[in-house]
Amino acid sequence: MGEAVILSGDAGGTNVRFALAHVGRHSVELSDVWKRAGADYPTFNDALRAYLAEVKPKLAGASFGLAGQNEDGRVELLNRGWTVDIASVTSLLGLESVLVTNDFWAMARAAPELSGDDLHLISEGESDPEGSLAIGGPGTGFGVAVMRRYSGNRAKGWVVIGGEGGHQGYAPQTKIEWALAEALRAKLGYVSNEIVAAGVGFEDTLEALFHVMGMPPRKLSQAEVIEAAKAGDPLASEFCRIRAAAVMAAMGNLALVCNATGGVFIAGGVSQRLEPWLKEEPAVARFRERGLRTGLMAPIPIRLITSESAPLIGSAKLWLDEQERGWL
């Protein structure tokens, strides 16, 4: 296929992004990238209209990664309060159809396309070029996906397998983590990795940690906790280490599930802020130390996705995948 221009979009619990994706058979280039706080718009369509008021493209298609599941042509973004009607979006754009996937599908699909400054090394390893990839991490929620190689009669590439792995049960290891889990369980009933590591559980987890450490609670933002931890504050430092350990343990579990010999990619805004603690030896050990299967985990490289454009690139690549082989 020749070059086409499509609208690529990404909407999660915090931000909404749009861009024009110039797609060729093997390439994606972005222009007119637009990022806004989702809270600034009553609906997804309002945000889309605001973008289209600034950019008036002639589109060959559109592809959106949305933080929810497509059920009967509607996607409910639980952490944003939006319900996206796909037929309405298609009509607004004047297209016959649009591609809508989960936002973490788009993030996952971008992973093998990234290089250079878009990735930071968390722990070294040797990836198998034909191996599966595991992608996951916390932002507002905790996204998880797997990438597997595909080779057919007419096409080859990647297949994304999504899921709700962020809601898997939290697995404490240290004395303070067990106490934290018990305090959260007393309040919430079920404690997931998302509660401990992601934005949706920030206030509950911070409050529980104050209780566990015998300190009077304080109102702190996520940014304030990070800055306090960097300055050596004991509670903030413990909070960041607990979160980092939860992320690395969850990603190790995912790597075992899919035998991710191609590599592990940690994603999400919270993950980026936790980078110094993700690299610490105890956090890396949560990923690698797996009893009889520690040897299997040892070669797997772990990288952090730092590119804000990653889900837009991934969404455009998913559109290309569907065009080339007719399915995702």
The token duo for 34 is 């637009």
Q: What is the pLDDT of residue 238?
A: 98
Q: How confident is the model at residue 57 (pLDDT cuts 50, 70, 90)?
A: confident
Q: What is the per-residue burial (b if ≥16 Cβ within 10 Å, else e) of 13-49? A: bebbbbbbbebeeeebeeeeebeeebeebebbbebbe
List, for residues 66-124, the tens digit of each pLDDT value.
988 888 999 999 788 899 999 999 999 999 999 999 999 999 999 999 999 999 999 99
> Could you give the domains of the chain?
4-110+310-325 (3.30.420.40), 118-306 (3.40.367.20)
Q: How confident is the model at residue 288 (pLDDT cuts 50, 70, 90)?
A: very high
Determine the Cα–Cα distance for residues 16 and 277; give it in Å rounded to an integer.
28
Q: What is the pLDDT of residue 15?
A: 93
